[in-house]
């Protein structure tokens, strides 16, 4: 009986999609969003950009929630992974430090 329970949990994890957020919606961030949308095992759930109209457009395209800051995105319920696609600067230092306090995966894209 115990084995069935373990197998059911594995199957549930395999079927669940990784909840992903993207911070920075320039060329690289937009490409990440488009790529995530093609993956059956991932779901874009949140995007953030200081340009609120860009965030709203991308969020609408992929069924995600738009945020105006990284802090807001990082508070998104159920977020499991974050892609930081910002230009090199202070945000590359601050955002990963903030993310390390969360239980999530992190991809830092530098350009």
50-98 tens-digit pLDDT: 999 999 999 999 999 999 988 899 889 999 998 888 877 655 545 555 5
Query: How many other β-carbons are positioned within 10 Å of the β-carbon of residue 80?
Result: 17
Four-point Cα dihedral 77, 80, 85, 91, nearest 10? 70
Say what the pLDDT of residue 16 is. Answer: 84
Integer Cα distance of 23 and 32 in angstroms: 10
Integer Cα distance of 108 and 85 in angstroms: 7
Comparing C-alpha atoms, which of 80, 18, 81, 95 is closest to residue 49?
95
Enter the tokens of residue 105. Answer: 């995966």
Question: Which residue would you say has higher pLDDT here, 43 or 104?
Answer: 43
pTM above 0.85, yes or no: no
CB 89 within 8 A of CB 60: no
Query: How many other β-carbons are positioned within 10 Å of the β-carbon of residue 20?
Result: 24
pLDDT tens digits for range 10-23:
666 567 899 999 99
Q: Give the pLDDT mean for 39-52.
A: 96
If you average pLDDT over each of 3-12, 32-41, 92-101, which comes out highest? Answer: 32-41
């Amino acid at each position: 009986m115990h084995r069935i329970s373990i197998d059911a949990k594995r199957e549930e994890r395999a079927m669940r999609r990784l909840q992903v957020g993207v911070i920075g919606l320039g060329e690289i961030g937009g490409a990440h969003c488009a790529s995530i949308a093609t993956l059956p095992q991932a779901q874009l759930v949140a995007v953030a950009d200081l340009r609120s109209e860009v965030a709203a457009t991308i969020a609408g395209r992929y069924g995600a929630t738009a945020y105006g800051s990284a802090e807001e995105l990082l508070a998104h319920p159920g977020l499991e992974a974050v892609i930081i696609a910002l230009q090199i600067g202070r945000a590359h230092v601050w955002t990963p430090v903030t993310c390390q306090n969360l239980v999530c995966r992190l991809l830092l894209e530098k350009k």
